[in-house]
Amino acid sequence: MDLFSDEYTDGNALAGPLRELFTVDMTSAVGRCVSCGGEGPVAGMKVYAQAPGLVARCPSCQEVLMRLVRGPSDAWLDLRGTMSLRIPMPPE
Partner 1 sequence: MKLPPGQYLTEDFPVLTAGPTPRVPTDTWEFVVVTEAGEKHRWSWAELMALPSEQPTVDLHCVTKWSKLGTSWQGVSLDVLLDGVDTAADYVMVHSYGGYTTNLPFEDLRNGQAWIAYRFDGEDLHPEHGGPARLLVPHLYLWKSAKWVRGLRLTDEDEPGFWESAGYHDYGDPWREQRYQGD
CA distances from 26 to 5, 19, 41, 63, 67 (A): 28, 7, 9, 20, 14
**Which of residues 69 and 85 has its CB atom nearest to partner 1 in the complex?**
69
The yes or no reply on residue 51 touching partner 1 (CB under 8 A) is: yes
| Residues of this chain, 52-81, that bind partner 1 according to CB under 8 A | 52-53, 55, 57, 62-64, 67-69, 71-72, 74-76, 78
Q: Point out which residues bind partner 1 (CB under 8 A).
A: 3-4, 6-8, 48, 50-53, 55, 57, 62-64, 67-69, 71-72, 74-76, 78
